Chains A and B, each alone.
Chain A
Amino acid sequence: MTTRKRRPATKRTAIERVRRPSLDRRGPIRDATNYLRDSDSWTEKAPRDNPRQEGAGEHSSVGSFDDVVTQGVKLGYKVIEQYITQGQRVAEQISRPFQKGVPEAGTADVVHGMVRLYKDMADVWGNALDLMVRNPVFWSWLGSSAQNGVMHPQNGVPGTLNGSGAAFSVEIASPRPTEVMLNVEPSPQPYTPFVHALHAPERNVPPLTSIAFQKSPKSNMPVLLLKIPLKQPSGLYTGVVVDRETNQPRGTLTVRVLPAKR
């Protein structure tokens, strides 16, 4: 590609700026006839100079309409395939370092990274539930009684449950893969859910106590927050979801902490 330096503007006022003439129309004119009329002119052009003379460029201007259409399609595919191929090469280069495994790092970094990873995964899982409970097909299949057990933000009360189906999410901070199962009974009245603790079958295993139902300040939706301590043994933990005010049981919460994958 040849270049030629632009001359500095020295005569800005010498020539009056060319301006758009005033238009008769008041809005866009969508009329195919304007386009159709000009399409006839392809074969009615005045004879032109020989474009190949004096080192003219790569393509001749002489050619039938169909030839140029074909040329346009071929050129278009060439450009777009080159573009996509280039993108694939870049993607391969970017993804290569991640295929070699985790780079050298301290144990704390790895653990923190894993906590973040599983937190993200839990969020994804929460999204999946979120989308599922928003799906009317899901509700028609599940039946109306099951809808009563879904958490729902009610009148600005954080994390209340009532009788209509709605979205909620789950956020888990865990050093290892964790599964969560929330099962609540139908209730005609809204209430604030609460879980005292989740216990393992073994008596010597410490219970999970960092459990909370909160209302997300961003989305205004109820969120189940669950934090698994770093040294928490793997296993199944269960507990009762109660009405915070009356302590009446409303359902169960089950958490399965899985062993770390090797």
Chain B
Amino acid sequence: MPAAAESSQTPRFISEVLQEYGAVTQEALKQYLPSGSPRQHLYDLVADYPSRGGKMMRSTLCIATARVFGGHLDDAVGTAVAIELLHNALLIHDDIEDESEERRGRPTLHRLHGVPLALNAGDTLSLLSLKPLIDNVPKIGSRLALKILEETQQMAWESAEGQAMELGWRHDNSNDVSDADYLTMVLKKTCWLGMIYPTRVGALIGTRGTVNLEPFIRFGFFLGSAFQIQDDLLNFVADRRYGKELDGDILEGKRTLMLIHAYRNSPHKHRRRVASILARTREERSLSDVHWIRKLMDDHGSVEYARAIAHGLAGAARHEFEGIFGSRPESRDKEFVRGLVTWVFERC
């Protein structure tokens, strides 16, 4: 039973490292949040999502990778702050695009303040994320700071393309999406910001720009895609203890691996019904629609299929990890990065 074997091996200190580096990043991040006016319609909104906390996985991954490669925490914190600022900016926009209602246990920003103000706050957070990258110059030198800016530009580009792919599928009600299409979307939308970019810039900082970056794309892709599929699974297989919006992805019409699998393996009449349900707006989808699609997934073993794919990807991530990090001296930071591969199955 691979799930049992891997999950039970996840180091307990993963959460400790997340808290430790997350606290350092949060403290540095506060210095970048403007405190002047206009507060009510801008800066209070800008500070809202970052102050709600979060796993701080992306920023911690950046710092840990930098340290694995011999860098100092101080040299990586600025980039970690930039990652969190941009991540929160994209969350605001994602929530609007997905019509989400809650984020980190509270109403989404656009539900609290309306779409125009939330959009503007998201734009402001995006711009704010540039400041710590510029402040990198005197810390780590202009050459390395510029290299990180280039990485940031590529990451933002890839993320936008991935988001466009997913939104486009929903906009056009595309249903013959293949597993490869899904993984390509996840590579761009999730993996670049979440895993590839933090490890690449972390390694750049640690090695002063002398590391080969290509292997980090593979590691980040496998880790990130396992993470994303597990995220989708939590939404589908979870009981209430997981605290996710049960079947919320079906309500939003998200093309998950489970939905793609169920559609692909369904007879034509069921496919037509799936297409018909997904063609509706979220408001028009009923609970019975959601339950019917959910049952279709059960009938076709789509949840188990996605879980097995996630396990394969996680195994590949572990393999790629050894290729990149294997020769580095053993350390708490190295154990953290290694442990993330199994942690993705335990988080919530």
Which A residues are within 8 Å of any B CB, using their own CB? 1-7, 9, 11-12, 14-15, 17-21, 23-25, 27-32, 34-36, 38-42, 45-46, 48-49, 51, 53-63, 65, 68-73, 75-80, 83-84, 123-124, 127-128, 130-131, 167, 216, 218-221
Contacts and interface: CB of A to CB of B under 8 A. Distances in A.
B48 interface: no
Contacts of B2: 39, 65, 69
B304 A72 contact: no
Interface in B229-267: 237-243, 245-246, 248, 251, 261, 263-267
Nearest to A44: B304
Interface of B: 1-4, 7-8, 10, 15, 101-102, 105, 137-138, 140-144, 171-181, 183-184, 187, 208, 214, 217-218, 221-222, 225, 237-243, 245-246, 248, 251, 261, 263-269, 275, 279-287, 290, 298-305, 307-313, 315-316, 345-348
Contacts of B142: 123-124, 127
Contacts of B316: 73, 76-77
A19 B176 contact: no
Contacts of A79: 180, 183-184, 187, 221
Contacts of A2: 174-176
Given A58-B264, A75-B180, A221 B279 contact: no
Contact of B305 (A61, A124, A127): A61
B3 A36 contact: yes
B248 to A, nearest CB: 7
B299 A46 contact: yes
B348 A72 contact: no
A35 B301 contact: no
Most buried by B among A1, A20, A72, A76: A72
B199 to A, nearest CB: 14
A6 B279 contact: yes
Given A34-B241, A83-B217, A131-B140, 8 more contacts: A57-B265, A59-B179, A59-B261, A63-B305, A65-B304, A76-B225, A80-B221, A123-B142
Given A1-B174, A69-B2, A30 B138 contact: no
A18 B265 contact: no
B175 A4 contact: yes
Contacts of B221: 76, 79-80, 83
B101 A20 contact: yes
6 contacts: A20-B101, A28-B347, A39-B4, A65-B2, A83-B184, A83-B187
A139 to B, nearest CB: 15
Given A25-B243, A48-B299, A80 B175 contact: no
A17 to B, nearest CB: 5
A38 to B, nearest CB: 5
A170 to B, nearest CB: 12
A27 B241 CA distance: 10
